[in-house]
Amino acid sequence: MTSTGRRPTRALCLTLGLALLSSCSSSEAPEPTGEEELYVLLIVDTLRRDALGCYGREEAQTPRIDALAAEGVRFEQAIATSGWTLPSVASMLTGTWPQLHKALGKNTRLTPVTDDLPLAAEVFREAGFGTVGLANAAFLSPILGLDRGFDVFDHRHAYNQEIRRADETVDTALAEVAARPADDLFLLVHLFDAHLDYDPPDGFLDPFVGDRREPAPPLSMKECLELAGDDALLPPAPADVDYARGLYQGEVAFVDGAVGRLVDGLEELGRWERTTLALVSDHGEEFWEHGGFEHGHTLYNELVQVPLLVRTPATAVGATRVVEHQVRTIDIMPTLFELAGVEAPASFEGRSLLDDLRGERPARIPPAFTQGTLYGAAKMSWRTAKHHLIIDQARQGPEAVELYDIAADPRETRNIAAKEPALRDRILAELQAFHGDLSLRARSISVPEIQDLSPSNRDEIMKSLEALGYTGRGEDEDEESSREGGDE
């Protein structure tokens, strides 16, 4: 869905292929100078870092994302602010923590991002940039305030089925860029394909699952959980885990092709040489590593340690660099602002990663704070250079705390909280002090009215979107989510 109520935009010619991409801009539009800059935030929903070849998965079949890593900077330890979509993406776009931007919730009852904080698109637009956003999934709806600051916010309101595929999303993004040849641009592209339901397109199934075809894709949340059989407390058999992971890897491989399509399209438009692109995920996916499946319920590494690649015109001509130390996804926008010469508002609390892009170690590497679950007990965590502490806020006493030595045990298989009480209490005190300060600051920030984005409310949601100036439904979205809550 495309908003046209903010600022008039030139008409678009959406092409069937990149070779035919062209702009229908008015003859009165400014001519490009060749100096126009493009800053891209590419969010691949539900993308585990170890699903990519550049992060060590040999059978990944992700050559285009790997090529981005080869001409950019790869961050080994990029930590998201949450384990599900809304608070994580809102943190990227506000540069701060979920408790402050307010975009949290349970199941389908969600709070929009507060009006008290500026979003990245507003900052770029104030600085004279064109702003274009493309998002998929209900949990990134304009109803939740994420469209603020975008000249065009093209949103497909869908749950886990009938999604807009990555290739269509990319083609739409390229058409929007083509319509603005003389503009400096900030472009947000959100790709949803790696999320449940697991349903790789034709040609992306066989390399990852072989001859197996049962249960037939698409695999929903319900069908994945049924792989465990009668004892849902135990993980499925290894072959069943491999099958679910294989379907997921097929979707990732398809997304990789769409990423290549975006790069190729920007090259054809003459924009790639002056493009800075940050590829990141909002969260990962659990395949029963800690006894559970999917995301939104825990804050273990498989959910909060996400891929982050940053490619700039400068890194493209230098040696490939890998940043080993910890960074945070709230650091992304301050980095793009500094590269663009745009002043970051004080509310953007992340640090610019420009030193890291130059190969210089920063003077201070701050801990990473994460919080928020979509379902189950509320959790928060504190991640230092060597340790990850997770607290279950519904429990009391020592049993509420888990502590992992992530330097020696990156898969977090050995909880050392009971064996290292002094270390546990010291790190817990750091977390509590930080959270206490956050809670005090959060009191002065307004909380928007809760919105119920249940699939059963789809008709009312669509009316609300139309009232906001968003028209069209795209393809017919399925009213039934794979479970209550649908997208995360």
CATH of the domain at 191: 3.40.720.10
Domain assignment present for residue 140? The answer is yes
- Give Cα separations from 111 to 160, 181, 195, 272, 296 (angstroms): 20, 37, 22, 37, 16
- Give Cα separations from 331 to 90, 328, 338 (angstroms): 13, 5, 11
Q: What angle do CA 357, 358, 364 make, to 5 degrees?
A: 75
Closest CA to 473 of 38, 157, 213, 87: 157
HSE toward the beta carbon, residue 409, CA cutoff 13 A: 12
Contact 46, 303 (CB under 8 A): no
Residues 6 or more apart whose CB falls under 8 angstroms from that of 350 comprise 95, 96, 328, 329, 330, 331, 332, 333, 334, 335
Domain assignment present for residue 465? The answer is yes
Closest CA to 162 of 419, 482, 488: 482
Q: For residue range 431-450, what is the model confidence (pLDDT) as tens digits? A: 999 999 999 999 999 999 99
Chain centroid to CA 430: how far?
Answer: 27
Contact 356, 323 (CB under 8 A): yes
Report, as an integer, the average pLDDT of 300-324: 90
Contact 105, 487 (CB under 8 A): no
Domain assignment present for residue 424? The answer is no
pLDDT of residue 425: 96
Residues 6 or more apart whose CB falls under 8 angstroms from that of 115 comprise 145, 446, 448
Domain assignment present for residue 172? The answer is yes
Domain assignment present for residue 299? The answer is yes
CA–CA separation, 139 vs 8, rounded Å?
A: 27
Closest CA to 473 of 174, 201, 162, 172: 162
Contact 131, 119 (CB under 8 A): no
pLDDT of residue 406: 97
CA–CA separation, 417 vs 423, rounded Å?
A: 8
Which residues constitute the domain of residue 150?
A: 2-17+36-367+455-471
Does residue 475 have a pLDDT over 60? no
Residues 6 or more apart whose CB falls under 8 angstroms from that of 171 comprise 14, 15, 18, 261, 265
Which residues are paired to 239 by β-bridges? none
Domain assignment present for residue 126? The answer is yes
Report, as an integer, the average pLDDT of 360-380: 92
In the chain, % of residues over pLDDT 70: 86
Q: For residue range 109-138, what is the model confidence (pLDDT) as tens digits? A: 999 999 999 999 999 999 999 999 999 988
Contact 69, 54 (CB under 8 A): yes
Closest CA to 279 of 463, 42, 18, 26: 42
How many domains are there within the chain? 1
Does residue 357 have a pLDDT over 90? yes
Using pLDDT thresholds of 50, 70 and 90, give the confidence band for residue 454. confident
Does residue 4 have a pLDDT over 60? no
- Higher-pLDDT residue of 126 and 19 is 126
pLDDT of residue 158: 76
- Give Cα separations from 251 to 45, 62, 167, 205 (angstroms): 11, 11, 12, 8
Domain assignment present for residue 102? The answer is yes
Q: For residue range 378-435, what is the model confidence (pLDDT) as tens digits? A: 999 999 999 999 999 999 888 899 999 999 999 999 999 999 999 999 999 999 999 9
Does residue 478 have a pLDDT over 70? no
CA–CA separation, 327 vs 469, rounded Å?
A: 37
pLDDT of residue 35: 85
CA–CA separation, 123 vs 334, rounded Å?
A: 11
Domain assignment present for residue 356? The answer is yes
Contact 21, 15 (CB under 8 A): yes
Alpha helices in 375-420 (DSSP H): none
Report, as an integer, the average pLDDT of 290-315: 94
